[in-house]
Amino acid sequence: MSRTPKILLGLMLAAVAVSQPARADETNASTASSDQSWIQKHGKASYLIWMTGMHTEALSGNRDGTGTALEFDHYVALGADIGKGYSLKVTNWAAQSIDEDDSTRQFEPGDPYMTLSQGKILHSDRYAANLEGYLRYYFPFSRSTVDNLNKGTTKDYGHGMLRLYLNPSKSWFDGKLTFNLGLITNFRFNSMTPQERFNRATAQSIKDGGKTTPQSFREDMYFILDPILDYSVNPKVDVYLEWASGYLRHTTNGHWTSITPDSAGAAKADGMYISPGVYWSPTKKVYVNPYLSYQLSNRLYDKKLNLFHADVGLQLQYTFM
C-alpha cells in the first residue's frame, strides 16, 4: 500500500472515532473499570515492620548500661496473582537502627527483591499434605552490598542472590496441628575474580592497619533448616514452636562453616535457636506475630546470657489488598 492510501485510511479511522465520542468514552470507561477490577481482585500490597533487639531483661535492648539497641526493619511489597496459583511480588525494605552509636547508619535501605511463589506445588487432601515454595532474586543495589564489593570481603554477590524456599507440611486433627519443614537455600553470584577480590581485600587490610586478613575465596551459598510446629487455637490465633539450625555457609574453598553467630549477642545472629510465638490475625488485613527467641549458640560466645534470657521480636503487617 502506498503512503497516500495509508494517510487516507488513517484520516477515515480518525473521523469515525470523532463521530462516535460517546462510544469511545464508554469503551475507555469500560477498560478503566476492567483494569480497576483486575487490580482489586488480583493485586497485592502490604507493609510490614519487624522489630528486633529487645530481650526479656530490657525491652529497650539495653545491656550493662550501653543504652538503647533496637532495629526496625520496614518492608513494602507490591505484586499480583498471575494465575494457576502463582503470585509475583516486588519488595523494597530498609533497616532503621535506634541506638546510642553515632557511627551507626540510622536508616539503611537493603537489597530489594522479587519473589515468584506457589502455594500448592504438590497437594493432597487425602493425606493432609502440601508443598509450597518460592523463588526469589535479590538485586545487589544496597550500600552494604556495594561496600562489601569495594572492600573485597567474602560476601561478594555483585550479580545478585537467588533464594529457593521449599516447605513440605503435614497436618493432623482436621488441620489443627501442622508440621512445616522449611528449607531455604541461597545462591550468591559473584562479580569479581578471586584475584580481584584478594587485591581489594589487601588494600582494605592495609587501610585498616592489618586488622583483617585478605582472602580470595567467597561465600557462594548457605542453607537454613527451619522446622515449625503450629497449632491452630481458632481461625484467628495460632501458637507455634520454631527450631532453626541457623546458617550453614559454604565457601568456594570447599568448606562448610559451623553453626556460629557472626557477632555475639546480635539480635538476629546466625546460629541455632528455639522460638515460641503466636500468629494473630484480628482482621483479614492485620497480622501480628510476637515471639521469643532463645539463641543457643550465642551462649558459647556471650557468657553474660543467663538461662532465662531470650530475645523478643515482633512483626506487624497491614495488607492493603
Burial 104-126 (b: 16+ CB within 10 A, else e): eeeeeebbbbebebeeeeeeeee
Closest CA to 50 of 271, 267, 236, 298: 267
Select the more confidently predicted residue: 139 or 300.
Answer: 139
Q: Which fold has domain 45-319?
A: Porin (2.40.160)
Select the more confidently predicted residue: 241 or 271.
Answer: 241
3-class state of residue 130 by DSSP:
strand
User: What pLDDT score was predicted for residue 2?
Assistant: 43
| Residue 148 near residue 155 (C-beta atoms within 8 A) | yes
User: What pLDDT score was predicted for residue 31?
Assistant: 62
8-65 confidence digits (pLDDT tens): 344 344 443 433 444 455 556 566 566 678 888 889 999 999 999 998 888 888 866 7
Kindly list the domain boundaries of the chain, sorted by start residue: 45-319
- H helical segments located in the chain: 3-19, 21-42, 143-151, 194-207
- Res. 128: pLDDT tops 80: yes
> 313: burial class by Cβ within 10 Å (0-12, 13-18, 19+)?
buried
What is 40-81 written as a DSSP string?
HHHEEEEEEEEEEEEETTBTT---TT---EEEEEEEEEEEEE
What integer is the mean pLDDT of 158-166?
Answer: 97
Residue 294 binned pLDDT confidence (cut-offs 50, 70, 90): confident
Q: What is the mean pLDDT of the chain?
A: 84
258-269 confidence digits (pLDDT tens): 654 443 333 334
